Chain A
Amino acid sequence: MTPIPPGLETLDFRFDGVRTVPAFAPVLVGVVGSGNLEVMLEPDAGAGCAVRVQTSARGFAPIWQAVLDDFHRRHGLSGVRVSINDMGATPAVVSLRLDQAVQELRP
């Protein structure tokens, strides 16, 4: 068995966006609690969508990649920075929170 190193894992992802979001006020949804996460959306200069995840559940990078691929297929945001603090949320909860954040985007 390989030992699991302690501490948080930071994961970075980048997607080429197709839907440029007009200027908006930052959005925060969710709370960092057990099995939950918070998602913040902010305007970002330039094209594309950068995602940074900080999570206490280490070793799930491929799952995050799959969940974020799906998210990007649904919304294809551009000019948006996504920041996530996660405390072991399941993929379904992550997807719902991401969709909730997009719903709250307002100019």
Chain B
Amino acid sequence: MTQERLISYAECSARERLALLLDPGSFHEWLPPRDRVTSPHLAQLGVPSAFDDGVAVGRAALDGRPVFVAAQEGAFMGGGVGEVHGAKLVGLLRRALRERPAAVLLLLDSGGVRLHEANAGLIAVSEVMRAVLDARDAGIPVIALIGAANGCFGGMGIVARCTDFVVMSDLGRLAMSGPEVIEASHGVEEFDARDRALVWRTSGGKHRWLSGDCDALVEDDAAAFRQAAIAAMAALPASRPVTLDALEAEHALLSNRLALLEGTVADAGGDDALTLWTRLGVADASRIPDLEVADVVSLRPASFGTSQA
């Protein structure tokens, strides 16, 4: 196998990711920057708007198949979901109900709700969740790709876990509360947001893979994300249905995970991710942070299945 130069997915802008992920020249944008559909709130606060409100949405081809796609730009307002940004995501997902693409791809890079827009942003995120579930209910697979610099937190973390399939790189992070939020609410003794190793052990791609929260773990490489998205589409001819059985299985998985950590706080290992990995059956868990992605992929406990597509 010839080794081609990797292009860091994390370091790309949203539009660079679209160009590298999709079939060349296939992206057709809806509400492009020249339409100037911008935030109605930011200017009142003295904050400049972006011509696309921090997200590009449209249709495209991936490996020749029709897809709908959205890419969030984390460098604008931390990828925060404002009223317009959220409405663009919802519109994309609703249009998918009508035009039935082979999949909807969400290239996520977001700290969650854009707090400047307060309730409008919160409502927007809840509408995105509803729209994702509606698309899945109609049989259209929704695939989340997480490997950008801001990770995927807050409401968008919930959105990601509402999708069918989550692809992450080891640099990607996925959680509800971000590191600074946990530190602010529980204190630095509980969680030191400047401890990068701790942050990645707790929310990074390797952790999410080992604990069964993502479906594919890839290198920080744009081509690897493209291949993983193609494989995910092949594995999902239709959306995985959201049934009561599926939800109860998910709840059982989470309850079992919590039970694994019971009584650990007093132990030497504490409630660190290392303890969880060990109790999940990963041998010699302390070496995980230093391992290559390919080596970590094979260490996932068999109970989570082999959904690495």
| A contact residues vs B (CB 8 Å cutoff) | 6-8, 26, 28, 31-33, 36, 38, 40, 42, 54-56, 83, 85-87
Q: Are B43 and A31 in contact (CB under 8 A)?
A: no
Binding-face segment, B46-54, B117-125, B187-195: B46-54
* Distance, CA A55 to CA B42, complexed state (A): 12
The one of A33, A36, A40, A87 in contact with B34, judged by C-beta atoms closer than 8 angstroms, is A40
Q: Are A8 and B32 in contact (CB under 8 A)?
A: no
Q: Are A56 and B73 in contact (CB under 8 A)?
A: no
Residues in B with CB closer than 8 Å to A6 are 46
Closest Cβ neighbor of B44 among chain A residues: A7
A31 and B73 in contact, given A7-B43, A8-B43, A40-B33 (Cβ under 8 angstroms): yes
A28 and B51 in contact, given A40-B33, A40-B34, A42-B34 (Cβ under 8 angstroms): yes
* Distance, CA A42 to CA B194, complexed state (A): 43
Q: Are B50 and A32 in contact (CB under 8 A)?
A: yes
The one of A26, A33, A54, A87 in contact with B33, judged by C-beta atoms closer than 8 angstroms, is A26
Closest Cβ neighbor of B51 among chain A residues: A40
* Distance, CA A40 to CA B50, complexed state (A): 11
* Distance, CA A42 to CA B51, complexed state (A): 13
A54 and B34 in contact, given A7-B43, A31-B75, A31-B76 (Cβ under 8 angstroms): no
* Distance, CA A8 to CA B212, complexed state (A): 46
Min CB gap A23→B, angstroms: 14
* B13 is an interface residue with CB less than 8 A from chain A: yes
A83 and B48 in contact, given A31-B73, A40-B33 (Cβ under 8 angstroms): no
- Number of B positions contacting A (CB below 8 A): 17
- Chief secondary structure at chain B's binding surface: loop
Residues in B with CB closer than 8 Å to A26 are 32-34
Closest Cβ neighbor of B78 among chain A residues: A33
A32 and B46 in contact, given A26-B33, A42-B34 (Cβ under 8 angstroms): no
* Distance, CA A42 to CA B32, complexed state (A): 12
* Distance, CA A74 to CA B49, complexed state (A): 28
Closest Cβ neighbor of A87 among chain B residues: B48
Residues in B with CB closer than 8 Å to A32 are 48-50, 75-76
* Distance, CA A87 to CA B13, complexed state (A): 17
Residues in B with CB closer than 8 Å to A55 are 48
Q: Are B33 and A56 in contact (CB under 8 A)?
A: no
* Distance, CA A28 to CA B76, complexed state (A): 14
Residues in A with CB closer than 8 Å to B50 are 31-32, 38, 85
Closest Cβ neighbor of A54 among chain B residues: B48
* Distance, CA A32 to CA B79, complexed state (A): 11
Residues in B with CB closer than 8 Å to A85 are 48-51
* Distance, CA A86 to CA B49, complexed state (A): 9
The one of A28, A40, A42, A86 in contact with B48, judged by C-beta atoms closer than 8 angstroms, is A86
Would you list 19 pairs from A and B whose C-beta atoms are within 8 A, ordered by A residue? A8-B43, A8-B46, A26-B32, A28-B33, A28-B52, A31-B13, A31-B73, A31-B75, A31-B76, A33-B76, A40-B34, A54-B48, A56-B47, A56-B48, A85-B48, A85-B49, A85-B50, A86-B48, A87-B48
